[in-house]
Structure 1
Amino acid sequence: MSTPVQAPAGQQPADSAGRRAIWLAIAALAMTFMLPLAGLVMAVFALMAGIRALPQLKSAGKPPGIAVGGIAISSIALTLSALATAMQLYLMDEYSAYQNCLKGAGTVSSQGECFTQFRDAAQKKLPPDVLELLGAVQP
């Protein structure tokens, strides 16, 4: 009876490295739409996992497509989350005022007025067509 051959300590099989890269990239893309800052951090980890998986897959003679897909998805997630995080930081004061206004708003019409004030304040700070590009319309 022979014992199974195990990979050296600290190394994982190439297949699992590729799968890890793609799953981290998908998770980073999902996090980007929920919490952009968390998506930014996860996208960096996914990008690193994809880059590390490439040589492992190539040395094992496996196609590197899954790692390349992970790199591509994580790059998209990194770009989107960086833009969203930058926009949140840039409009932090306006968003804080909007949240304070909503706390005191007791009716739907007063909540709409809070949004109008936020939109007007953001329009003063941003270039004219940015809010149209972002799709910021009154709910």
Structure 2
Amino acid sequence: MSTPVQAPAGQQPAESAGRRAIWLSIAALAMTFMLPAAGLVMALFAIVAGIRAVPLLKAAGKPTGVTAGGIAVAAVALALSVATTGMQLYLMNENSAYQECMKSAGTVSSQGECFVQFKEAAQKKLPPDVLELIGATRP
């Protein structure tokens, strides 16, 4: 029976830690757009994995650029997910009313009325420029 060939000590865990950090950060960015709260958690995992990978890569003499990029992408995902989750929580009542209105809307014009009601309710809570910034206005 032959023994498996192993990488030199410290090389394999360092390389896999760097790859793990970048993949987690990409997943965090994707999750931010689908489920912002899950993106927040995933971004935190990605940042921790990246920070833990840097010393391993340096000790193995490997470049840390990919891991640093993963940390940067995870930081962007974290900022986006915090902002999105915060906005969802802040406008929770308005969003619930909008969802209920859309359930009972049978025509396109009644759906438009639901949007107008949501926009007016959100404008009462938000500064005037925020809705334009997030693109919640219709031409």
What residue in structure 2 maps to residue 43 of structure 1?
A: 43
The answer as to 2:20 corresponding to 1:20 is: yes
Residue number in structure 2 paired with 1:96:
96
TM-fit CA distance, 1:66: 1.1
Q: Is the 8 A contact 1:115 1:138 kept in 2?
A: no
Structure 2 segments unaligned to the other structure (5+ residues): none
Matches within 5 A, 1:1-139: 4-5=5-6, 13-138=13-138
1:80-103 per-position Cα deviation (integer Å, ceiling 9, x unaligned)? 000000000000000000000011
Aligned structure 1 segments of 4 or more residues deviating by more than 4 angstroms: none
CA contact (8 A) 1:37 1:81 kept: yes
Two-structure CA RMSD over aligned residues (Å): 1.9
Task: Normalising by structure 1, report the TM-score.
Answer: 0.92
The residue type equivalent to 1:4 in the other structure is V
Gaps of 5+ in 1: none
TM-score by structure 2 length?
Answer: 0.92
Amino acid at match of 1:102: M
Displacement after TM superposition at 1:138 (Å): 2.9
Q: Distance in 1 between matches of 2:31 and 2:105?
A: 30
Measure the CA separation in 2 of the matches of 1:97 and 1:13: 50
